[in-house]
Structures are given as C-alpha cells and as structure tokens.
Amino acid sequence: MKKAIYNSRWYVLAALVLILGIVPLMGDQYLLFFCMLFFLYLALAQMWNLLAGYSGLISLGQQSFVGMGGYVVAVMSNYYGVYIWLGVLLGGVFSALLGLFMSLFIFRMKGVYFAIGTWIFSEALLIWFSNWEYTKYGMGLFIKPNPNISMTEIYYASLIVGVGSVALVYGILRSKLGLGLMAMRDDEAVSETMGVEVFRSKLYCFLIGAFVTGSTAGILYIFQVFIQPYKAFAIDWTVKLVFIVIIGGIGTLEGPIVGAFVFVLLSQTLAEYFSVSMLILGAIAILVILIAPKGIMGTLQEKLGFEILSPRRK
C-alpha cells in the first residue's frame, strides 16, 4: 500500500500541479489570490530552506534580495519601460550580484556572525534606499508594468517560481552539489577531506537563493504595485520564512510546501486581527518546536519512514 502510494507520487504531483494550473479558469478571485500568495511564499521559503536546511547558512537577510528584486522591477518599469518579465529576471540577476558582493564580507564569518552579517547588510540597504533620490527616498516607487498585465499572468508567474523552486532544490539535491551538501550537513570538516568544496558549494547555494528570492519578490511587487524601503528591506520577511520552514520541517523538500500553505491560511484568516496575528503565528511556531521539533513533514517522515521527494541514492 505504502509502496503503491510512493510509486504513484509523480502522477499525484503532476495532477496537483495541473489542478493548480486551471485555478484562473475557476473564476474564484479569492482562491486565485490565495494560491498566488502560497506559491510566492513557497519559493521564498524553499530558498531559505536550501540555505538553512541544507547548506548550513543561517541567513537573516533574505529581505536584501526581496528589496533588491522589487526595486529592480520598479526602476526598470518606471524609468526604462523594460518589458516587465525581463525586469523580474533582472531583479534576480541583480540580487545574485548583490549576493556575490555580500559574500566577499560575510563568507568569512561563521554561524551566528554570518546571520548577523546578512542582517546588517539589509539594514544598510534600507538606509541607502530610503536616502536615495533615484528611488524616491522613503516615499517609494510605483510599478508600472509594460505591457499591462492581468492577474492571471501574475498567477502563472507565481506558479512557475513556486513549483520551480521545489523542482530546483530537488534537482540540486540529486546532483553532485547536493550530494556534497548532505555530506557537509553531517560533518563539514570530514566532507572537505573527502573532496567536497565546502566554500564553493555554500556560495553556489547562496547565489541561487539570492536569484530566486529576487525574482520571486519582483513578481510579488508587481502584484502589490508599490514598493517602499521600510517594508521591502524589513526583517519581517525572513521571520515569516523561518516560521514557514520551521513549522513545515527544515531540511525537507516538502516542509516549505506545507509550511507555506499553513502560513498563508493563517495570515489570511488572522488578517483582521492584524496586531495579534504575528503573536499567534509565533505561539504556533513555539508549539510546533516543542511538540514536533522536526516540523510537520520532518515528523511525518520519521513516523511513516518515507519521503515523497527523496534525495536519497540507492
């Protein structure tokens, strides 16, 4: 029975993606909005998971790439009239370049210093952008898509980054890089003497994470229409991603999927109690950490003994 379910997993997943693909045809605007948010948060969280769950990089500065991706789309659409999806891609490219620049400084740091280093960069960017005439200081910028695009298009872009992020991390884990990551996770020093290029592997993941986070943020800001430094570079972003990954199951591919669903569901339900919604989310996170420290999917995998999207070699 278990085996039958396992063997049919690709069909089930394909069917699921197909159903999600026809959501825009269903005509339910709320469902469309809900699924879009789900995909965007999934992509952002999957990247934080790639760093924290697989590469040993605890980043508290993913908002640097959220802000960069959003601002690149805003600037490109506003000042240069660049084709909107090209702008999204450029947002990813600029985020990766920012990541490369950051790495010159923070990759000398380890553990908590790395975390703080990434955070400091975000704060510096916040100050920079809120004092920069080019980006209209703290007032922010509108995003003027060229050409005008529909909600359906934004939805499909979200679907691509959401599903794409899962496929990407799955692909990484099945590759040479991923094999090295899993060895590093168990014992970094030993993996190095077995030929794993630890520094390079971490850098690749950091840059991939920056690229996907930046482009995802671009799509998110096209939907939001408006970008301001105080929101774009706020640590709230990373806090949300940590929440999603922790409750879903860090270091599992399925964790961020479940986590993102729970998060979007909760944050939408709690939207009217905005002031307490963060408190409730925090309480849930603590509860999950106490009851099931491996998160929902991590605990299920342990109990049931199989992973749906397994990076294991046989």
Partner 1 sequence: MVDILAVNLLTKTFGRLRAVDSLTFEVREGEILGVMGPNGAGKTTLFNLLTGVYKPDEGDIQYQGKDISHESPAKRCRRGIGRTYQIPRPFDKLTVFENLLVGAVHGGGLSEKRARGKVQDILNLIGLMSKTDHFAGSLPLLDRKTLELGRALATQPTLILLDEIAGGLTEKEATKVLGIVRKISEQGITIVWIEHLLMMMAEGADRLLAISEGRWLQCGDPKEVMNSTEVLDGYLGAEEE
From residue 268, give the alpha-carbon distance in Å to each of 271, 272, 274, 277, 282.
5, 8, 10, 9, 15
Complex with partner 1: residue 30 or 314, whichever CB lies closer: 314
**CA 244 – CA 261 distance, rounded (Å):** 9
Interface with partner 1 includes 275 (CB under 8 A)? no
Site for partner 1 in 192-221 (CB under 8 A): 192-198
Complex with partner 1: residue 290 or 303, whichever CB lies closer: 303
Structure tokens at 236: 């709230």
Hey, CA dihedral for 228, 232, 235, 236, is it positive or negative? positive
> Which residue do the tokens 């940590």 mark?
242
**CA 220 – CA 67 distance, rounded (Å):** 11
Contact pick of 97, 116, 182, 234 for partner 1 (by CB under 8 A) = 182
Applying CB under 8 A, the site for partner 1 has a residue count of 21
Report yes or no: 256 and 248 within 8 Å, Cβ to Cβ: yes
Interface with partner 1 includes 189 (CB under 8 A)? yes
Interface with partner 1 includes 144 (CB under 8 A)? no
Interface with partner 1 includes 314 (CB under 8 A)? yes
Complex with partner 1: residue 28 or 187, whichever CB lies closer: 187
* Smallest distance from partner 1 to CB 48, Å: 21
3-state SS, residue 83: coil
Select the span of 48-56, 79-87, 173-181, 293-301 touching partner 1 (CB under 8 A): 173-181
> Which residue do the tokens 């998110």 mark?
220
* Smallest distance from partner 1 to CB 178, Å: 10
One-letter amino acid of 46: Q
Interface with partner 1 includes 3 (CB under 8 A)? no
* Smallest distance from partner 1 to CB 210, Å: 24
Pairing of the two strands 226-227 and 141-142 = antiparallel
Contact pick of 186, 274, 291, 303 for partner 1 (by CB under 8 A) = 186
**CA 218 – CA 141 distance, rounded (Å):** 13
Interface with partner 1 includes 267 (CB under 8 A)? no
* Smallest distance from partner 1 to CB 306, Å: 13
Interface with partner 1 includes 187 (CB under 8 A)? yes
**CA 206 – CA 104 distance, rounded (Å):** 12
Binding site for partner 1 (CB under 8 A): 176, 179-180, 182-183, 185-187, 189-198, 312-314
